[in-house]
A and B are shown apart, each in its own frame.
Chain A
Amino acid sequence: GQSLEQPSEVTAVEGAIVQINCTYQTSGFYGLSWYQQHDGGAPTFLSYNALDGLEETGRFSSFLSRSDSYGYLLLQELQMKDSASYFCAVGQGSYQKVTFGIGTKLQVIP
């Protein structure tokens, strides 16, 4: 089976940097993804890491260490609109099968 662990809640100040960690256990690991979901909305894809290292997309970066079964999402220059839930998700096998973590609720405060 698979399991993912991420903090349930994080609070950060507008303009600051926040890191959301994710550890996972799975067989047939195929990559780590991150999704953002605003209250009442649908999850939206943010990033994907298949190999070790850092991927940067604007203010968001995602990191993966396959040997440590660990990844994180880094959000820089936080804005109020970044207040949302962030899910890490593990891809497994060859068929795009993805299991989602329970999500981290990020609250950005002024």
Chain B
Amino acid sequence: DAGVIQSPRHEVTEMGQEVTLRCKPISGHDYLFWYRQTMMRGLELLIYFNNNVPIDDSGMPEDRFSAKMPNASFSTLKIQPSEPRDSAVYFCASADRNYGYTFGSGTRLTVV
């Protein structure tokens, strides 16, 4: 398996623009997670899905953030409009019922 695949690896955008981050989980994993990592706040859980259904989105910071999982092999995290404080590394991870996440390589987002 190719692991969890995220795109793009790097994204630089201007404040106010829409940003879409993409994730392909490991086949057969029924949990998918979106995390954000910053120096100040560490790894924060934004939202997670089980069998494509959002289970807990309490970590989504604002209505500007939204996430979808239209099928078992694809998820998106969208920020609209983006702000400089959204600059961070965004990780997608997937897991099955055995504990232990597999993380993607992350998307480094810079909003200027």
Contact = CB atoms under 8 A, between A and B. Distances in A.
Contacts, number: 52
A96 interface: yes
Contact of A100 (B43, B97, B99, B102): B43
Given A42-B106, A95-B50, A95-B56, A103 B42 contact: yes
Interface residues on B, range: 20 to 34
Interface of A: 31, 33, 35, 41-45, 48, 50, 87, 91, 95-103
A61 B31 CA distance: 26
A41 B3 CA distance: 14
Given A43-B91, A101-B42, A48 B105 contact: no
B103 interface: yes
Tell me if B's interface is mostly helix, strand, loop or mixed.
Answer: strand
A43 B103 contact: yes
A23 B106 CA distance: 28
Given A95-B50, A100-B43, A102-B42, A48 B100 contact: yes
